[in-house]
A = this chain, B = another copy of it.
Amino acid sequence: MSSFLDILDLDTNPTTEVLALKQKISLKSIKKGRILQRGGDMVSKIYYVKKGLLRSYTIDKKGKEHIFMFAPEDWIIADGADFSSPCQLFIDVLEDSEIEIVDKKLFEEVYISLTLNSDTQRTAAMIKRISVLQERVIMLMSASAIERYEHFTTTYPQIMQRVPQRMIASYLGITPEALSKVKSEQNKGK
């Protein structure tokens, strides 16, 4: 899968609803720094990243950002699960990007009604996301700052190079200062 449209094209006999949805999907070029969605917004969209890099994050009561996930090429990012419901995530653009944007509700209705391979695909995508989150929870519960950092560098080396360190710290759940110290610490060791 490399686009929302691909998914819809899987249906060889598109209904009028599918066709209507296809017309509403537009590829947009969006500049770095743009905020696509704020926690608390009522409108909620799904973003398919064709090119570039997005992130989702919360802001806690003390005003501190906590990055929930990064979304590079070919990732879907949205508040809540892939489609439905809750929570209060912000989403913004870290690199100039090309993104497909669809209304969440609309997409969900049509998408779920499609019954074919895309079902297996969607299931696989959700399973992957659950696995990633499971690993993340375990990491947050049991790993020290150093362990988290080393896990990140080996798991997401591509993202490492594309975002400032303070954002990696934010993703790991530690302060930028702590991350800096971790790095200098592990440099001493060699």
Q: Which residues of A contact B (CB under 8 A)?
A: 58, 60, 64, 66, 68, 80-87, 112, 115, 119-120, 122-124, 126-131, 133-138, 140-142, 173
Contacts and interface: CB of A to CB of B under 8 A. Distances in A.
Total copies of this chain within the assembly: 2
Nearest to A83: B127
> Secondary structure at chain A's binding surface: helix, strand, loop or mixed?
helix
Given A115-B119, A122-B123, A137-B68, A130 B81 contact: yes
B122 A112 contact: no
A133 B115 CA distance: 27
B138 A137 contact: no
A87 B138 contact: yes
17 contacts: A58-B142, A66-B138, A68-B134, A80-B131, A81-B126, A81-B128, A81-B130, A82-B130, A87-B135, A123-B123, A126-B127, A130-B133, A133-B133, A133-B136, A136-B137, A140-B141, A140-B173
